[in-house]
Each structure stands twice: as C-alpha cells, then as structure tokens.
Chain A
Amino acid sequence: MTNLTTHRLNLNARFLRAWFFVSFRMSAFFWIISLLMVVLIGVSGLRAAEPTPKKQQKQSSKLVEYEVFNLIQSKSIQKSLTGKAGNPKRGEALIIDREKGNCLQCHVIDKFHELAKKNPDTYGDMGEIGPTLDGVATRYKDGQLRLILVNAKLVFPETIMPAYYRIDGFTRVADEYVDQPIMSAQDIEDILSFLKTLK
C-alpha cells in the first residue's frame, strides 16, 4: 500500500499516460469478457429451447431419402372368414362407428377430411397413431390385411393395434367383454372389402 496520508489526485503526465494505457487495456479486456458472456448466454438460451415432441428433429445426412416397404409375404389369411365377399358400404360405417371398428381413433383416411368439415360429429378428428389407411390396399394383399385385422400382433408383435377377432390370450378382460371378439367375422370381411377400395 502507498502512504495513505499523501492521497490526492495525481495529474502529472507520466501518471496519465500509465493510467490511460492500463485503463484502455482493461476496458478492452472488459469488452472481450462481456462479448464472450453474451455469446455464452445466447448459446445457453439456444440450448435451453427444447424441441416440441410433435416436431421431430430432422437429422441432416448426405444419403438420399428412401422409403422402406414392409413386405410380409409369409403371413396371411387367404380364405374369407364368412366364405364370401363383404359389403364395403357397411364396412365404411363400421370404420367410422366409435363403438365398433373406430379405426379413425388411430388412422387417417384422407377422403374423410372433407366429410368431417360438414359432419364433425360423425367423423371428428382422426388420430395419428397408426399409419394412414390411404393406399393400404396397395401396400398389402387381401390376405395380409385380413390377418392384420384379425390379430395384428401375429404380424407386428409389439403393435398397439387390438386384435379384432380373437377371444383368448388376454389379461383381465372386463366381464362384459369376456369371450367375445371386438368384431364379428362378417364385420371383418365388410371392413376388409372397404379397405380394398383404398388404393
């Protein structure tokens, strides 16, 4: 420490030169530090902004985009459950019906978007859990579609899709649903015949 009794403003040339030199250098130091901090704060802010779960982050890659088609050749039910072809009109009604097929809970059918505008109570919002049903007849053969309707778990073991024509192998089914399939054989065939029109 300097002698405290001699404290007074020192304005001689040597002091001023030294003072300006040091203070300019230090202020430059301050600027650099504060800029650095601003950058850091900005980066932290950007990192804090989380992506919403609905929008998936697109990964940049140099590969050409391609689409994988799931070809399940081996598993199918070739024969009609009722022995004859279904009724597509009735199938369409079953798909919409919330108590029966209720397919729109998870799947989208494009042509219903227009109808939903006029009649929102019947069609309502369509779910986005399963794949779209448009072009489903192109992606699968009839027998494969029939099997997926009857018991989708035989094709996709981990799927969320219920087995619509099955009564055993369940856990703790509520009493009113015990020993009955969600839909009858006729219902399955009718829905299948409607799905066949979605090419």
Chain B
Amino acid sequence: MIFSFYHNQAQLFKEHLIVSLLFVFVYAVAVLFIFETAFAGNGRDKSIVPAVKGHPLSNLWSGYYYSKKDIQALQDNLGENPGLKYVSEGAVLWRQKPNKTSKSCSKCHGNSSISMSEVGVRYPQYYAPLKRLINLEQRINICRKSYQKVQPFEYESKELLSLTSFVRAQAKGRPVRVKVDGFAKPFYEKGKAFYFKRRGQLDMSCAHCHENNYGKQLRSTLLSQGQSNGFPAYRVAWQKVGSLHRRFRSCNKLVRAKTYAFGADAYVNLELYLNWRGNGLEVETPAVRD
C-alpha cells in the first residue's frame, strides 16, 4: 500500500476502500467465529441452550460438569479412561466374524468412523418391521439375529456393552439429536409420562431430582441433570461400564421401586425422552461418572 503506483486521488481512495472493506470482512468473520464457538459450547463443562421452545430445562449441562475433578480427569485422560477398554474390545468384535459362515460387522458397514458416525446421536429410533422403538443395543442384536445369523448377545453382557460403546464412540463429539416426531411421537409421549410419574416407596419421579434439584448436594453427591449423552458409561460405583438401562434400574432401586427388565419398552421410551432432553449435548461415550 505504501508503494501504491496509482496517480490520482480517486484511485487511491478506491484502493484504500477496497482493502479496508476486506479487513472489515475478515474482522466480521473472526467475530462470527468467536460468537459461534462461544455459544455452541462443547456441552461438557459448558452449558448449551436447548434449541427447542418449551424445553423443560433452560440450560443443558452434561453429567461431566457435575462430576468431581478427578473423575473428569479420568474421562479426559485417554490412557486411563477405563471405558476405552470396552471400546477397543468392541472394535475387535466389529472386525471379527462371529463364526465361519457369517459376516463381520465391518463387512457390511465398512469404515465404522464413517458409517457409524451418526448412529450414536440418533438412537433410539422407530423400527418399522417390529413397529416399535429400538435402542442401539437392540439394533445390534437385530443385526446379529437377522444378518449374522447368530445368537443375540445378552443384554448387559460384556460383548454387547463393548460393541455398543464402540459404535456410540464413533459419534463422540457430535451433538445428540434424536427425532421425536412422526412414528416416534407416541413413544416419546410415553417416555415423558414415565419421567414425570412418581414411583416407589419414596414416591419420587425423575423430575424431582434431575429437573427441580439439579446442581444441589444430596449428601455428598451433586445431583446432575440426568443426561444420557455419556452412556454406555464407566461408573465408579459399579467399577465397570454399564448401559443406560442399568442406570435406570439403580435409580429405580434408590426410590424403592420395582425395576423393569433390561431393554424393556418402558426404559427404551424413557431413553428416547431422556436423549431428547439432551439434544445438542455432545456424545461422550465412553464417559466416566461417579
């Protein structure tokens, strides 16, 4: 600009104007970028504002936020996260043939980081052949039964947990976005009813702790929003990775209520509703929680 060769003032002005407009544009892009990163949040130690109107929570916080510092560190440290053992075992199962005659998962689905990148964010979803809602575990077992022609895994078995962790970990960092319209709508409504229904001898609903009292101390535990974005998660209380349904069961036991079986329809509906409450939070599988 200093060695500008233009002779007349008008040309010079025009040049300055163009360059300054360019700078303004660059600044604007930078500011937009900052705004975006500031408001998108990573859903872990920051909150995000739910996209839907009429959402029961004003801000969404991952369970990570309510965990103690050492547990957060355990999750973040890739060398120490105990859930990663399950993920790597799932990766082995993904490539392995269940028996000589059947195909491996990777045979049909190919590169898991591409084919499974969106699966972890959108399950549970409506499955037309069975006319009901299925979650990721059930989807894997349907695959085993109908395509691999082998015995489905037992719910909460190490194999199923590993494979589920592996598949959902492919969506790590992506925001959860389950669909609750269309065919899923009635299941969503049932899950919602479950969430707000008082149950057990202590006569509490999920909402009493996780909607009305999150962020408060319950003895030495800090109540979270009960978000499901980290599951299957390693729970220190279990010393093991567990499914979301196992978490539901322990919650139900805490209020002295009858539990449902793993994979029960009531729990799958609740899973859908819970994932909807956390729509926008990033998938953290394998998360570590206390």
B114 contacts A by Cβ under 8 Å: no
Q: How far is the CA of A126 from the CA of B216 in the complex (A)?
A: 11
Q: Is the CB of B31 within 8 A of A171?
A: no
Interface positions, chain A 108-159, Cβ under 8 Å from B, are 124-129, 153
Shortest Cβ distance from A145 into chain B, in angstroms?
19
Q: Which of A33, A53, A174 contacts B24 (CB 8 A)?
A: A33
Q: How far is the CA of A8 from the CA of B257 in the complex (A)?
A: 89
With a CB–CB cut-off of 8 A, which chain A residues contact B253?
174
Shortest Cβ distance from B221 into chain A, in angstroms?
9
Task: Tell whether A126 pairs with B20 under 8 Å between CB atoms, given A160-B208, A171-B198.
Answer: no
B11-19, B82-90, B148-156 - interface stretch:
B11-19
Shortest Cβ distance from A33 into chain B, in angstroms?
6
Q: How large is the interface on A (under 10, 10 to 19, 20 to 34, 35 or more residues)?
A: 35 or more
With a CB–CB cut-off of 8 A, which chain A residues contact B38?
44-45, 47-48
Q: Which of A30, A45, A153, A162 contacts B201 (CB 8 A)?
A: A162
With a CB–CB cut-off of 8 A, which chain A residues contact B35?
44
B52 contacts A by Cβ under 8 Å: no
Q: Which of B27, B30, B208, B256 contacts A174 (CB 8 A)?
A: B256
Q: How far is the CA of A41 from the CA of B35 in the complex (A)?
A: 8
Shortest Cβ distance from A38 into chain B, in angstroms?
10
A17-25, A65-73, A185-193 - interface stretch:
A17-25
B217 contacts A by Cβ under 8 Å: yes
With a CB–CB cut-off of 8 A, which chain B residues contact A22?
9, 12-13, 16
Q: Is the CB of B256 within 8 A of A105?
A: no
Q: How far is the CA of A174 from the CA of B20 in the complex (A)?
A: 72
- Of all chain A residues, the one with the shortest Cβ separation from B257 is A172
Q: How far is the CA of A40 from the CA of B27 in the complex (A)?
A: 11
Interface positions, chain B 203-227, Cβ under 8 Å from A, are 203-204, 208-209, 212-220, 223
A81 contacts B by Cβ under 8 Å: no
Task: Tell whether A23 pairs with B200 under 8 Å between CB atoms, given A53-B61, A125-B220.
Answer: no
Q: Is the CB of B217 within 8 A of A30?
A: no
B130 contacts A by Cβ under 8 Å: no
Q: Is the CB of A105 within 8 A of B218?
A: yes
B238 contacts A by Cβ under 8 Å: no
Q: Is the CB of A18 within 8 A of B204?
A: no
Q: Is the CB of B219 within 8 A of A174?
A: no
Task: Tell whether A126 pairs with B219 under 8 Å between CB atoms, given A22-B9, A40-B31, A44-B34.
Answer: yes
Task: Pick from A41, A47, A53, A125 the residue with the most CB of B within 10 Å.
Answer: A53
Q: How far is the CA of A9 from the CA of B2 in the complex (A)?
A: 10
B7 contacts A by Cβ under 8 Å: yes
Q: Is the CB of A2 within 8 A of B7?
A: yes
Q: How far is the CA of A62 from the CA of B219 in the complex (A)?
A: 36
Q: How far is the CA of A50 from the CA of B43 in the complex (A)?
A: 12
Q: Is the CB of B219 within 8 A of A2?
A: no
Q: Which of B30, B61, B200, B212 contacts A173 (CB 8 A)?
A: B200
Q: How far is the CA of A173 from the CA of B203 in the complex (A)?
A: 9
Interface residues of B (CB under 8 A from A): 1, 3-9, 11-13, 16-17, 20, 23-24, 27, 30-31, 34-35, 38-39, 46-47, 59, 61, 197-204, 208-209, 212-220, 223, 253, 256-259
Interface residues of A (CB under 8 A from B): 2, 7-10, 15, 18-19, 22-23, 26, 29-30, 33-34, 37, 40-41, 44-45, 47-48, 50, 52-54, 104-106, 124-129, 153, 160, 162-163, 170-175, 177, 182
- The 10 A-B pairs of least Cβ separation, nearest first, read A48-B38, A53-B215, A7-B5, A160-B208, A125-B220, A177-B201, A172-B258, A162-B202, A18-B9, A26-B16
Given A9-B3, A30-B20, A172-B258; 18 other pairs, CB 8 A cutoff: A18-B12, A19-B12, A22-B13, A22-B16, A37-B30, A37-B31, A44-B35, A53-B61, A129-B213, A170-B198, A170-B199, A170-B201, A171-B197, A171-B203, A173-B258, A174-B201, A174-B258, A182-B202
